[in-house]
Amino acid sequence: MSKVTTELSNGVLTVTLADPDNRNALSRQLVAELGEAMDRADNDDAVRVVVLTNEGTTFCAGADLSERSDDDRPDADADDAPGNGINVFERIRMSPKPWIGRIGGHAVAGGLGLAAVTDISVALDTAKMGFSEVRIGVAPAMISVICLPKMRQGEATEAFLRGNRFTAVEGARLGLVNYALPMDQLDAKVDEIVADVVLGGPKALAASKQLVRDIPSMGFGDAMAWTGKFSASLFESPEGQEGMKAYLSKTKPSWVPE
């Protein structure tokens, strides 16, 4: 049976982790199927935005330890490492499409990294989160690359070392997710975010993700020089020209859904 399902409607590709009996753990099959969904998201022009969500009460429990405990490959040294070589965190971060996390359940270890790497995330306020890796004798290695830039150092140190669970409300305060809301408000917030995002030009959205991803690692002078050229290319692009003409004429550009 499939462990990841996809549904495309009005430009929104909903990707659902669908292995609730295994707490949507990052098994080889689930990661492979998630990789296929990522391929579709990146390469299908009909996909404007991706919503990543889950079946069951757990969004993702991290690595599938039943597989990892017998895995002696060099990349199998942390609970959050995908089991078959597909780096789902990098794929979402580098995707030109916006990924919205609908975190409808618990997210721990690599599952918390998966929630945190989405571009905008809305979590169930009662969902439990945490970096539990130390309690099984490993460390949150790969997901630290995702989570550390979002957190203050002292709070990250405490969370990594204690390995304790906290609610999504605390996860939002730590910067790991954007919102923590009751179940009856979850879908409305996701819909509100999606409705805003699809108003952006596809290439403009990809460019905005690139800015967030790349600018923090640049020096000020290099960043200003690079963004000057980058901005000019966007203004001169067909998408930029269409968007400006639509704005001035008070019409909708072609990428805005009807």
User: Is 256 part of any domain?
Assistant: no
**Strand intervals (E) in 19-133:** 49-54, 58-60, 99-103, 106-108, 120-124, 128-130
CATH number, domain of 103, equals: 3.90.226.10
Same domain, 176 and 93: yes
202-214 vs 238-249: helix crossing angle, rounded to 10? 120
The two tokens of residue 176 are: 């790991």
Bridge partners (DSSP) listed for residue 17: 4, 54
Per-residue pLDDT tens over the stretch 192-238? 999 999 999 999 999 999 999 999 999 999 999 999 999 999 999 99
What pLDDT score was predicted for residue 74?
43
Instruction: Tell me how many domains the chain contains.
Output: 2
User: Is 135 part of any domain?
Assistant: yes
What pLDDT score was predicted for residue 78?
40
pLDDT grade for 83, boundaries at 50, 70 and 90: low
Same domain, 51 and 141: yes
* H or E, element range at 12: strand 12-17
User: Is 258 part of any domain?
Assistant: no
Is the per-residue pLDDT at 248 higher than 70? yes
Is the per-residue pLDDT at 75 higher than 60? no
Per-residue pLDDT tens over the stretch 117-160? 999 999 999 999 999 999 999 999 999 999 999 999 999 999 99
User: Is 257 part of any domain?
Assistant: no
State how beta strands 128-130 and 106-108 pair.
parallel
Q: Which domain holds residue 26?
A: 4-197
Q: Which of 197, 220, 238 is the last residue of a domain?
A: 197
What pLDDT score was predicted for residue 76?
41
Question: What are the strands of the beta sheet with 128-130, ordered from one edge?
Answer: 58-60, 106-108, 128-130, 166-167
Is the per-residue pLDDT at 72 higher than 80? no
pLDDT grade for 68, boundaries at 50, 70 and 90: confident
Q: Which of 181, 197, 213 is the last residue of a domain?
A: 197
Q: Which sign does the torsion angle of CA 213, 130, 35, 17 carry? A: negative
